[in-house]
Structure 1
Amino acid sequence: MAAENIDDVVDGLAGIVREAGRAGDRVGYFAALYRQVTVEVRTAIHGGLFDDGARMDRFDTHFGNRYFEAYDAWRRDRSGPRCWRKAFGLLDDADTVIVQHLILGVNAHINLDLAIAAARTSPGEAIHALRRDFLLINDILARVALAVQDSVGALSPLLSLLDQVGARTDERILDFSVRRSREEAWYNAVLLAGQNEQEREATIERLDIRAAVLARLVARPGGLVRPALQLIRSTESDDVPAVITHLDNAVE
């Protein structure tokens, strides 16, 4: 699928959520989170929050299409960016907890896709005028992600164990930091915006490799986190459609 505007992105994500709910597919976990982010961004555009609403519509469309391209590639032949393959590859893993699925998606979308979408929206020197709106859209992404993570508590009664082993504090979940990744995404967006095609390809390859490494750390953490995750998983709901519905209503 390919979106032409932010309304198409919302509709595309809603379609994935609906189909995942019917099929009991965990891909609906992150899609539900992302749909709510996009709805919030669209509301902010209509409310005049951004300096350039039309530009942010294009930005969000590029951003959404990165996810759709990765999703379609995985469904087609298990291809696509490394970090997305790591995320999608665990959808059938019964030992992966809900919050891990969410963070694996957030990792790929922030650490790879966000900078690429920004550079495509505002190439060259135009990237600098995007900074304020970029930071605003990042804030929306982080706020919704945290709201959804908090809602997971109703589905994961022992999620607080991650706090006790130091793996979940504020915006830090396991080995993934939303705040640090948002800051790095802007740096990489400026870098990509000023590069030629060959340089961009090399930078995107580097970003994908790094995001895939982070995905492995989130998927298979060491130390006390692993047994804590096993306990959390033993008490989580196994009703995938119900979990998707719960997550899809976490913000609204």
Structure 2
Amino acid sequence: MQSMKLYPSPEASQILLGRNFAAPLIFQVPLDDMVDSVAFSSDGKYVASGEIDGTIRVWEIATEREISHMKHVGIVHSIAFSPDGKYIVTGSSDGTARVWDSATGLEISRMIYEDSVYSVSFSPDGTYVASGSWDGTARVWEAATGREISRMTHDDWVRSVVFSSDGKYVLSGSGDGTARVWDAITGREISRMMHGGMIRAVAFSPDGKYIASGGGDNIARVWEIATGKETLACCMMTGCTLFLSALTENMWLREVLTVRSEYGMPLPVRKYPT
């Protein structure tokens, strides 16, 4: 599993951060191939899946009915719904990011790369799409037309991209070991954080003051954007799976964050004074 977007509710975050991971299975459908990415719609009524054979499907959760069916010619590494749920964006090893009508499966726009696209994200108003690629770039595109708005360059592949809650900034995490904040429209670099290992996941705090990065060094870190100061680090067990979700604002610095691996083991946390 390369990418997972959570249902945006406090209950969903508690499943990851709480002590009880048991949850009833409410949706299960057979697919033709291995699933590499999944995403919920913002209203929680639909889920989209991307398979390694390039197939994309949108499902109605309550009925387990397939709503639409789309196709890339490579692995679907990342998938995301637009805020209103009308569209999805996908990133693939076929070198494209594409926007689709989630109800009909009609392709709306196509963004062309020279290499695999590993991460995609909609802006909060649905106007723009951010994407990250093996070619070392993060880019912002106009969702409706596929027109490139800005391009940001790392020194290695870009594994994760996300917009800030106000849509003004893009955060990218790269194999070069840095997490960087950029102006979404101009592509100007705002700040840079040195994680120290390949970064696989990044997230903004709800208030936009902090970012989190998780990497191949088995450490999740929280940073203050204005100063670039590291404020919290969680040492992850080897082989554990890290999901960075939208935490409530108070949990970023005022609460001790406990993360648990898939083995159910508590993980040590280092918290810095604020």
What TM-score do the two structures reach when normalised by structure 2? 0.25
More strand by share: 2
More helix by share: 1
Query: Higher relative contact order at CA 8 Å, sep ≥6: structure 1 or structure 2?
Result: 1
